[in-house]
Structure 1
Amino acid sequence: MQNKDACTSIMVGKKASLDGANYIARNEDRVKAIEPKRFLVKSAVKGRHETYVSPYNKVTVALPEEGMRYTSTPTLDQTAGPNEEDGINEANVAASFTESVYANDRVLAYDPYVKNGLAEDSLCTLVLPYIHSAREGVEYTGKLIAELGSAEGNGMQFADADDIWYMEVVTGHQWVAVRIPDDCYAVTPNQVAIEDIDFDDPDNYMWADGIQEFVEEHQLNPDHDRWDFRHIFGTSTQKDRRYNTPRTWFAQRYLSPNASLGQRPEDSEMPFIRKAEFKIANEDIQYVLKSHFNETPYDPMGDAPERKTYRAISLSRTAQSHILQVRDLNKYKTSIHWIELGVPAFNPYVPFFANANDTDESYRNVPEKMNLESAFWLNEALAEVVESHYQEFMEKDEDYQKELNEWARRKIAQVDKEAASLEGQALTDYLTGQNHEIASHYNKRTKALFFELLTEGCELSKMSFKMDPNL
């Protein structure tokens, strides 16, 4: 099976973040430049007797009778599966599926992928409605892999208010997971990322049953004195050094400017987990996900000869990007599902409260062809206009994103204050209404900038010609 995504993931622990929330985030990058996405709230179910069959590869699973409500970002075209990708459920557990990862031929020789096993298209649908903690997310997924096998290599993020876990499934049945320390962050760019596994520390590591025996039996460990999952199962190729490692380099260069000194874009041994050198804000996560080697010779929007050397984090084929801000419900009444549609470099992240009944029509209803009433298409259109005259429009676009981030912080603080006295359905209804207001504000502001830049662009045509005013 072929992985459909080529994403970049970021995790930030609660003691590493500015506001004390746990964060998991990812750019969902697709093969096609345009792949319309929706933002939905999937309702809770009870008394269900159904079997799930993937339209993509026919994996078949008997669904539990009960499932929780959750947010998700499915693909408009369902012929290749739901591809719900990410969300936050009503137990305040967030998950992001998946970071495509690739195993080496040695390990795949002994445990190949399972054609009709679990794949990215189905994982969110089959896991997120049924888990009550980040750790349970790993356990639940691990049981499904043991039963069904995996159709591809996938990295998965799970977070609750206490913990963040990152899980890598790399062959048909072999996987490990690590708890991200509270005072650390982690970045992964389509490579097997997890390093040393401590099999004497089940509080911070999890693994597939029999994985040590599998490695020993087939003589797969290249190291003399360590059990490094990346070394055993991962790859280290020219593609990694051009397509993958430069993204880690740039993210760590920004988030760990001192510790990353001396690292180069093609370094193969950059650490997966790092301690934060400063408290990381939501805006810092946004900066990394929006980045394209800014202020380096490798920026594809620049004019240096090296501008096309490496694959950047933000791409024109990013279907959507999300930041899942998992907050302590003893302090706040809801976590926040931030969504960016279009090209991350040019479009804002929109905050939606996860405890909601539905989503705004502009996010829920997405036509197949461009329509500016759709948030997805509106943001794609804005990105196209900004990129077409990047030098002329970038400053206004950055000011617009900054203005909306300021507005979002004020709005969230206001809603948190009002929500403090609400409970139950009244709380959910209130937050749902606020989500509609947020969508309306962002759509209105985005349209205003779009039409402003479109009008200015008429003066920038290469077909223009200045004539002698006396003629």
Structure 2
Amino acid sequence: MRRFRILAVTLVMALTLSTASVFACTAVYVGKDVSADGSTILARSEDQGSGAYNKMFVVVDRVENVPGRTIDDVNGFSYKLPETTYKYTMVPDYSDAGDGTYAGACTNEYGLSISATVSAYAKPEVGSVDPYVEGSLREAALTEIVAATCKTAKEGIKLLANIIETSGSEEGNVILLADQSEAWIFEVYSGHLWAAQKMPTDKVAVFGNQFMIETVDPLDTDNFMYHKNLFETAEKYGWTEKVDNKVHLAATFGEAREDYSNMRTWMGHRLLAPSTVGDYKTESYYPLFYAPDKKVSALEVMDVLRNRYEGTKYDGALPENAGLRFIGVERQSQIHVIQVKEEYPADISALQWLAFGNAEHSVFLPNFSGINDTYAAYKVDGERPNYDGAYWKFKRICALAEQNRSFYGQGVKDYWKLYEEHLYSDIQKAEKQMLALYAKDPKKAKQYITKLHMEIAEKACKDADHLYDDLLYFVMDRNGRKLDRRGGPFVASVAIRDAANMKGYTLKWIAKDKTITLTKGSTVYSIIAGDLEYKVVKNGTKTTGKFSETPRVEKGITYLPFDFVSAL
């Protein structure tokens, strides 16, 4: 992801070099044969040039037989739409950002999902021969163009290729597309040169801001597409790099490997397939696709996009690594993990997990494609903070948590991790209900998933407000003194009803002695708000324990400390 416009051909490479460390994204792919639930997974963090950048989440309705419409970018590029366009979801910038829509990630009614883009950079000599074209196709518009007009990934590639070959591209991009049958990676190297590869179903990929397609067999038209003059142009100007007598596209067209992007690519490999990657080397061309050591779940992909090189000598917790570019960077604005379900009806076939703020200290919330609308907080517009907006609710927690990751942030991460795991379990049950309803009445199924989206988003926004209040009080209470003077690190609080639901307990209120009981099987906890001690009976044996923080009542809701809840 990048937020700049190329104003003149002569400035192309200067701008590229000066902004490569500012505007960036990280992408993840998981093939359906190696995902935990058999879905194809596309994921990406959208990283900005600044830490505060409002994003929204909206549904764009299908339009039937309306001629004369266009998608217009602020750079002067305009794309004429067909009379009928498709319904899709998107994650756009706030409307007065001034640099285009930047739809980010889309899922449409035909089961097509697109994540765009990961910005990438070509060799200077490539730009000299075929420079980017000012006023042409950019990331800001291309995602929405494909979602509105294409039914398959391959159709999306052909459309983008046609636009780039005829009108040009203003920037280098890497785009991921998937439908229910196949997934593709599409790379734009210069003003007009491009290539695409079908992604294998039994492999995974993680990469930073660099071109990644490796060796290509020009005769393998089932798995590759490319500009008709791609190989001839490279050969004519002496760019061609070969491995095993095959042209290696990343080495042929892309800039040399450097730590800013390549370390993220290496770390992704280390996370998903540690058995097949060694120590990090800057100059290495790490493979685009490789087999994971075990099947990969959407939850694990979320954690990849949070990663700060933990467990390595590059760990972000070490002071000497403060200047490194991590995957889980503080200037993320929206982060999405899209699961494409092969056997589902096309118009409800994608499940998008969406996080606002920074993945490290935010939460991924599920949304089925096919929803009719989005929750009001997702549509709050504007550049400045408005805490009715979902982005700002989650981002302000991140901003506090990252002032001290071990003392403030870990408690936030623990809270959202349990929250996500519970949602992940619940959404699998919801999928069954959605499919059962769809078999009888597709309209009712879409009403159901829209209502589910609203309920999940509303609750998460309320819980985010409570978590922020907890954390802000904790930070203020320790302001001006040593952090450990008033006890240990931040511990979030959890509503007792949520604790019961998450851990499978039955909740009961006993009015006469103001006791709340949590019961599961032969285990019974007895809790009184305001009392630091609790009683527990396990298999007939009675004991007492102490909370780390006294349970309290706020607005009629009893809250328990997170460490107690997580241990239930």
| TM-score between both structures, scaled by the size of structure 2 | 0.78
Range that drifts further, 33-42 or 44-53: 44-53
Larger Rg: 2
Tell me the CA shift for residue 309 of structure 1: 4.7
Identity %: 28
Give the structure 2 partner of residue 232 of structure 1: 252
Partner of 2:40: 22
Residue of structure 2 aligned with 1:412, choices 417, 427, 431: 427
Q: How do 1:293-304 and structure 2 match up within 5 A?
A: 293-300=309-316, 302-304=317-319
> Separation in 2 of the partners of 1:112 and 1:51?
30
| Equivalent in the alignment of 1:360 | 375
Q: Does 1:443 align with 2:461?
A: yes
Structure 1 residues 121 and 452: CA distance shift in structure 2, 3 A: same
Partner of 2:170: 151
Give how far 1:255 is off: 0.5
Give matches, 1:167-246, under 5 Å: 167-223=186-242, 225-236=245-256, 240-246=257-263
- Seen in structure 2, the aligned counterparts of structure 1 residues 55 and 323 have a Cα distance that, compared at 3 Å, is same
> What do the CA deviations read for 1:346-386 (whole angstroms, capped 9, x no partner)?
10111111111110001112343223221100111000111
Aligned counterparts of 1:360 and 1:258: Cα–Cα separation in 2? 43
Offset of residue 310 of structure 1: 2.4
Quick one: structure 1 residues 63 and 321, their matched pair in 2 at CA, closer, same or farther if it must change by over 3 Å?
same
Comparing 330-339 and 77-86, the one that deviates more: 330-339
Question: Aligned residue for 1:38?
Answer: 56
Partners of 1:23 and 1:326 within 8 A in 2: yes
CA distance in 2, matches of 1:334, 1:214: 40
Tell me if 1:394 matches 2:409.
Answer: yes
Q: Where in structure 2 are the equivalents of 1:269-284 lying within 5 Å?
A: 269-284=285-300
1:253 counterpart = 2:267: no
Q: In 2, Cα distance between the equivalents of 1:84 and 1:457?
A: 35
Q: Return the match for 2:340 from 301, 317, 326.
A: 326
Q: Displacement of 1:453 after TM fit?
A: 1.1
| Structure with the bigger percentage of strand | 2
Report the equivalent of 1:80.
Answer: 99
Check 1:26–1:349 CA distance in 2 against 1; reply closer, same or farther (3 A cut): same
Q: Does 1:135 align with 2:151?
A: no
**Counterpart secondary structure, 1:416:** helix
2: distance between equivalents of 1:181 and 1:159? 12
Question: What letter is aligned with 2:56?
Answer: R
Structure 1 CA distance for aligned equivalents of residues 31 and 126 of structure 2:
31
Inter-CA distance 51–115: structure 2 relative to 1 (3 Å threshold): farther
Q: Distance in 1 between matches of 2:367 and 2:467?
A: 22
1:46-61 matches, within 5 Å, as: 46-52=64-70, 54-61=72-79
How far 1:464 sits from its partner (Å)? Answer: 7.1
Q: Say which of 97, 102, 107 aligns to 2:126.
A: 107
Q: Which runs of 5+ in 1 are unaligned?
A: 467-471
Q: Does the aligned pair in 2 maintain the 1:324–1:338 contact within 8 Å?
A: yes
Superposed displacement of residue 208, structure 1: 1.2
Q: 1:164 Cα deviation (Å)?
A: 1.3
Query: After the TM superposition, which residues 83-102 of structure 1 pair with which residues of structure 2 at under 5 Å, given as runs?
Result: 83-102=102-121
CA shift digits 1:421-449 (9 cap, x unpaired):
22322211111111001101211222221
SS of the counterpart of 1:421?
A: helix
- In structure 1, what is the Cα distance between the partners aligned to 2:150 and 2:258? 36
Aligned residues: 460
Note the C-alpha offset of 1:87: 1.1
In the alignment, structure 1 residue 351 sits paired with structure 2 residue 366: yes
Q: CA RMSD in A?
A: 1.9
Highest relative contact order (Cα 8 Å, sep 6+), 1 or 2? 1
Equivalence for 2:565: none
